């Protein structure tokens, strides 16, 4: 059965504290436009958790939420962040208006109506969503730091990236001191906290913190601590730019750190100063991959607008930024990344209304597929001159090249549409651009016997290139 609802997060994050009720809110959004959806929430640990409301009704394409309440616990969870024994099951099914009217006529409460519908399901299809429980929050983070449990600290920060916003300056300094007083063989804890976003005054940082052991430059350190003024100062001084794409021992640049930590303004400053937006660390991951994995919509949007390539893949599993966003259920990030693909498809089909709508909503014109083809290439070779004009008006790069070095003008010539060629020439496209075989647009036009296009190119000052004898043709 197709998915009926979408949950806000794949895990239920409980901000744990001893001896008091702890709450988490789960948002549900209906994906169907025709019928209401009924849902019922079940837990594997009813002795520990309450659900409010335990069942409900979602109108078509609307949203609702339920709250998970952890009863006061006298002890710290035996394992965290992940809880292997605590699970929730959200059961969903479609309810027709007739069924709802029939049940509501008996003056039943909403919960009774929903329970009645689930009891009468019979052979009706349901869609179940399984949600895992994770225990996070400042209390457990302090406990893990005190015990030198680096893995738990990493996982709590990974699942609750905003955790340090809950720390006062005094609490941050206290946590830093606890980490720094761990045995010398556990110095990694300090670095984990700083990289994760813990902010402490420079005077608090001990001189023996081994930044050098990580291969970090001054710019890495400034970015990791989100010191905006220091970042700007380093970028202004003569030696600052040499650190823009410097690598630490994991191959990460300062931009990787900014993307991993969600530091949008620092990321903009680095790219504005000339940092390589698609630099890859030793594992093949780009800044965009890291932002997409974190579900950081703003960072992803900024990187895509700055020309980041969402098709680049990591080394080990071969996943792209789009793949990891889909795998982690980051729907908004997927939408942002897929806009480039949508522009590509709209340009190829010549769907002018969709194309203009996408571009007006901020979709990028610079997305390239695995062959290096951008939307302008697609529109040009298909002879969609109006689509070419729209893309050009929205700032598409007239000289972008695919993996074979073809520009949109060369594609338009190969497509044989004189009007599209004329549009690109009028916009200022380079009439003598060469592909990797050394062929110019005029070479391609003559080879294919396009007399009208040949004359257009000659009138604009085109020259003929010499094609190597071992090259079968000047076109791909």
Average pLDDT over residues 158-175: 85
Helices (H), 350-436: 352-360, 375-381, 385-393, 408-415, 418-426
pLDDT tens column, 70-82? 999 999 999 999 9
pLDDT higher than 70, residue 339: yes
Q: Please give the pLDDT value at position 359.
A: 85
pLDDT higher than 80, residue 161: yes
Helix 451-459 and helix 418-426, axial crossing angle in degrees, nearest 10: 10
pLDDT tens column, 50-71? 999 998 889 999 999 999 999 9
Evaluate whether 45 touches 61 at the Cβ level (below 8 Å).
Answer: no
Q: Please give the pLDDT value at position 105.
A: 47
Evaluate whether 319 touches 290 at the Cβ level (below 8 Å).
Answer: no
> Could you give the C-alpha distances from 384 to 396, 407, 415, 457, in angstroms and in order?
15, 15, 10, 19
CA atoms of 298 and 47, how far apart (whole Å): 40
pLDDT tens column, 85-128? 999 999 998 876 545 555 554 445 556 666 666 665 555 567 88
Q: Please give the pLDDT value at position 110.
A: 59
Average pLDDT over residues 411-434: 94
pLDDT higher than 80, residue 200: no
């Amino acid at each position: 059965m197709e998915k009926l609802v979408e949950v806000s997060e794949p895990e239920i994050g409980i901000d744990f504290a001893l001896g008091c009720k702890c709450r988490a809110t789960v948002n549900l959004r209906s994906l169907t436009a025709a019928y209401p959806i009924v849902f019922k929430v079940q837990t594997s640990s009813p002795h520990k958790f309450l659900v409010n409301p335990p069942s409900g009704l979602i109108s078509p394409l609307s949203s609702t939420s339920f709250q998970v309440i952890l009863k006061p616990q006298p002890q710290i969870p035996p394992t965290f962040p992940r809880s292997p024994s605590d699970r929730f099951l959200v059961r969903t099914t479609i309810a027709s208006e007739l069924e709802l009217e029939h049940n509501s006529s008996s003056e039943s409460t909403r919960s009774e109506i929903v329970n009645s519908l689930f009891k009468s399901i019979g052979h009706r299809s349901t869609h179940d969503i399984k949600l895992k429980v994770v225990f996070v929050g400042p209390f457990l983070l302090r406990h893990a730091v005190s015990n030198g449990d680096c893995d738990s600290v990493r996982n709590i920060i990974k699942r609750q990236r905003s955790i340090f916003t809950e720390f006062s300056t005094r609490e941050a300094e206290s946590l830093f001191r606890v980490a720094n007083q761990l045995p010398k063989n556990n110095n990694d804890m300090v670095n984990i906290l700083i990289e994760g976003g813990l902010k402490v005054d420079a005077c608090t940082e001990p001189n023996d913190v081994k930044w050098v052991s990580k291969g970090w430059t001054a710019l890495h350190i400034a970015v990791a601590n989100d010191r905006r003024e220091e970042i700007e100062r380093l970028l202004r001084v003569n030696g600052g730019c040499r650190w823009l794409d410097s690598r630490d021992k994991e191959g990460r640049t300062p931009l990787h750190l900014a993307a991993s930590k969600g530091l949008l303004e620092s990321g903009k400053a680095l790219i504005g100063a000339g940092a390589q937006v698609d630099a890859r660390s030793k594992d093949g991951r780009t800044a965009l991959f890291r932002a997409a994995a974190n579900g950081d919509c703003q960072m992803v949007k900024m990187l895509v607008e700055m020309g980041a390539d969402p098709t680049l893949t990591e080394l080990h599993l071969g996943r792209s930024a789009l793949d990891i966003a889909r795998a982690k259920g980051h729907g908004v990030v997927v939408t942002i990344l897929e806009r480039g693909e949508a522009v590509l498809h709209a340009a190829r089909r010549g769907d002018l209304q969709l194309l203009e709508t996408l571009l007006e909503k901020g979709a990028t014109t610079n997305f390239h597929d695995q062959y290096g083809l951008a939307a302008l290439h697609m529109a040009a070779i298909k002879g969609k001159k109006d689509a070419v004009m729209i893309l050009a008006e929205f700032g598409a790069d007239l000289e972008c090249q695919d993996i074979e070095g073809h520009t949109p003008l060369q594609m338009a010539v190969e497509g044989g549409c004189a009007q599209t060629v004329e549009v690109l020439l009028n916009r200022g496209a380079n009439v003598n651009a060469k592909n990797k075989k050394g062929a110019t647009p005029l070479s391609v036009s003559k080879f294919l016997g396009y007399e009208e296009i040949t004359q257009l190119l000659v009138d604009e000052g085109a020259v003929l290139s010499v094609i190597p004898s071992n090259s079968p043709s000047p076109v791909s």
